[in-house]
Structure 1
């Protein structure tokens, strides 16, 4: 006797409303896979913005026709009981009225004739329609089909159909009535909110705009599928960075954005002032201005960019009583906590006032900065490599839908490249070895003439990572002239303990160094850069009182997002990019 087979159980995924808005995220409906069948019949509240729409009009049901009665055809006029035949004809058929006038019959002969016609009856209401709306709330790549029957929920097409309309609705989840990719839709029972748009001025009314056009609408572009996907990847990467450092015993420290020092010694900085000498209407409004010091070349800038040069406000009248700037780097401040708490990191914005046209740099960029006590250069290089691989793996594990989208829409090789960089060891070469390799290149001509002692340009780094090694490369022991003053001097007296991690198709993503822990060597380097001892007195104190070997690095967070998404211009991943001459909101 055959045993009766039991039907497979249907898993019903939980549809828990958000705690603070009493709606269900579309992600919980759209990304539950085969379990969507268990959601049929559930009543939910969803909200989102219309991505596309369609109206299907129903055919009106023809009413049974019956001949009108005499009273319906010729209703009596107010105040009169009887009408003559001429009155009836003239009031009902304008054509005959004109004929009567042509033959010279005056209406005065018939005082009962009405000069005005009967009121035109109101047109019947339009037939009911069904509105099919694809809405998205930003939680998923996919959108949900929302079906509104105007016979059940009275609403006009002009209110719900335009792209960009915001809608909050309550309804029942049902099996999709269409034959598309979606298997579930919402049949609306009640509309709780409609936020209309002006279609003529809404920038996303047109079909897919290119990314460079969307930069003009940074406040609207998150509603596009591409920018929404980038933002979710950015959010996941943010969480991954904190997770990595917390898992390895690092403490998160917030360093200042406004500082009185130049953290590198040759940076182009934004000066912060409230001085009225800058033409401000009130000293209470802070103003950020580009410092007048401008360096054309990386090495020459070291000698030209001196604190205290250029046009300066009266420091006694200024808010801080001395010159202050937006921070270029937080590593110097981070050192003070590393020398007390061990391993620390910071995550925040850094600013550079460089009038560059580079597609990988804007004035304000977010970075992760790390400082490790009781460590040397080798330790920081290992930590940087481990962190980079961890971030790559985390994105692939936690953003499958978004990575599938960017692979299809932006870069078909991005997932393969991230998997490859997770599984291999990275090449490590000294600056001198890099120069030797580049000098032997015969099949390529570099625009910048290469010689020992000058910075490696983007084309040099690209050749090493993309063409020569075809993998990430860590270049260390740079000439002391091209790195900041605080980097530890090597025994040869010519190079310093610094490194750059160069990634194929991206360039430098991480820069790091071992800091100079010897007071005499640090003082000598500061003198070379002509830096004020008074302004850096607190930094020298760390060497006077319990000095320790320590190292760290700086990871360009926005560049990591650029790498993970396969994009090429950092302005497309920074939510509100600030560039020279452009900061509109």
Structure 2
């Protein structure tokens, strides 16, 4: 029986015909009615449940970390600001803009006629204007541009979180094994198939642990999710294999994850493998593989899809390309970090042993361009007693991409957000 029809015979935006995924994204409020999106959401639900079950069964406590924060976990500065100072009454007048008068533009042909004396006078005037502009700049760090964050809701600049890691570490040092699972935000002007401005992160933290313990936990978790999907989402996985937007052999690829231990090698060893591929096998990469670069997706996928044909764990990255909180290795050049790379995606998990030496952590902050005073509370975790600990972060949407075989991360979240798009 037909229970409801379009009002007034209105045109239905998603009729019974093949629409592109891009077209469906423009109808995000209706695309849940399609088989593809419904299947993706069922898998997403299953993976969220599997995540909580895995960590609960392993004795972890679920910690709710804040969405609003004044800290930048990654130190990249790609944060969304949060402020109540949007009305004209709250804006601090920018005196330099109000008083600065640009020199009158010369009429056509006037430049050639300008005397040296006039040029000097104009240059002197511009120089004086610049000095005045500098003198009128606020000196307090909380005042940025024309906004005085000292008058804001929190009394200083606040942002949407880019990671819950620093916060969840506070509980790992007291309660041992903990994790957080929630939304995170990155103001990255990226339009790739694997980046979003709003996404969900799973971030466990384990006490009395080193990098090997961290890698073992990450591998066990990923395999658990794959096994759960194969058992509980079999109909949807079969559907994804048969749809034009899916992946042929999806379930075989997932079973391969369960059947073999992940390949483990250092970043340095991976660079050698990539260089050999270029020099001996004639492989062409857009970016030349040299020691010290942050491996792009093409390098990551080549390693796990072409060389080893399975998930790959890379360890011991150059310290310059990793975050300040990662433990410095004895060589002084690398850190105890690990990324897990999987076919179709590239990096799906990034983790590390945390630096627990206070003075080393302070120095790493400075080297990374961060003011240690800005994260005084994080440093206190070392100051007042700590233990070796480690953790990792997994982008939940990338996990769903890996499980479903879909190609674009915008198709595995109900309402995707990216630069230029925040509809619905």
SS in 1 for 2:154: coil
Q: For residues 415-564 of structure 1, what are the structure 2 equivalents within 5 Å?
A: 415-441=251-277, 442-564=281-403
Indicate conservation of the 8 Å contact 1:361/1:570, yes or no: yes
SS in 1 for 2:350: strand
The TM-score, its normalising length taken from structure 1, stands at 0.61
Match for residue 238 of structure 2?
404
Structure number having the greater helix percentage: 2
User: Displacement of 1:348 after TM fit?
Assistant: 0.6
Map 1:274-285 onto structure 2 (within 5 A). Answer: 274-276=84-86, 280=87
Structure 1 regions of 5+ residues with no counterpart? Answer: 1-147, 149-159, 161-166, 168-193, 284-306
Alignment of 1:334-345 (within 5 A): 334-345=168-179
Residue aligning to 1:349: 183
Q: Which protein has the bigger strand share? A: 1
* Closer/same/farther in 2, CA of residues 367 and 282 from structure 1, 3 Å limit: farther
Deviation at residue 449 of structure 1 after TM alignment: 2.0
Q: How many Å apart are 1:317 and its aligned residue?
A: 1.2
Q: C-alpha distance in 2, partners of 1:198/1:492? A: 73
Q: Distance in 2 between matches of 1:238 and 1:308?
A: 39
Deviation for aligned residue 1:505: 1.5
**TM-score (ref. length: structure 2):** 0.84
5 Å-filtered alignment, 1:91-106, equals none
Aligned to 1:250: 60
8 Å contact from structure 1 (residues 272, 324) kept in 2: yes
Alpha-carbon deviation of 1:405?
Answer: 1.0
The answer to whether the aligner puts 1:382 opposite 2:382 as a matched pair is: no
What is the count of residue pairs matched by the alignment?
369
Secondary structure of 2:152's counterpart equals coil
Deviation at 1:205, TM superposition (A): 2.5
Q: Deviations over 1:203-257 (max 9, x none)?
A: 1234232211000011100011110111111101110000000010000001011
**Secondary structure in 2 matching 1:316:** helix
Query: For residues 498 and 312 of structure 1, do their structure 2 counterparts lie closer, same or farther at Cα, with a shift above 3 Å needed?
Result: farther
Q: Tell me what 1:570 maps to.
A: 409
On the 8 A contact 1:267/1:352 being kept in 2, the answer is no
Q: Tell me, in whole angstroms, the C-alpha distance in 2 between the residues paired with 1:218 and 1:439.
A: 43
Deviation, structure 1 residue 266? 2.0
Which structure has more relative contact order (CA 8 Å, sep 6+)? It is 2
Please list the CA deviations of residues 506-559 of structure 1 after superposition, one character each: whole Å capped at 9, or x if unmatched.
Answer: 111100001100001001111112322322110011001121110000011101
2:120 aligns with none
Decide whether the 8 Å contact of 1:211 with 1:572 is kept in 2: yes
1:241 aligns with 2:47: no
CA distance, structure 1, for counterparts of residue 202 and residue 226 of structure 2: 15
- What do the CA deviations read for 1:444-488 (whole angstroms, capped 9, x no partner)? 111112221111111111111111111110000000000011111
Larger radius of gyration: 1
Question: CA RMSD for the aligned pairs?
Answer: 1.6
- Return closer, same or farther for 1:308/1:265 CA change in 2, 3 Å cut-off: farther
* Residues 267, 328 of structure 1: 8 Å contact kept: no
Q: Tell whether the 8 Å contact from 1:470 to 1:504 is kept in structure 2 after alignment.
A: yes
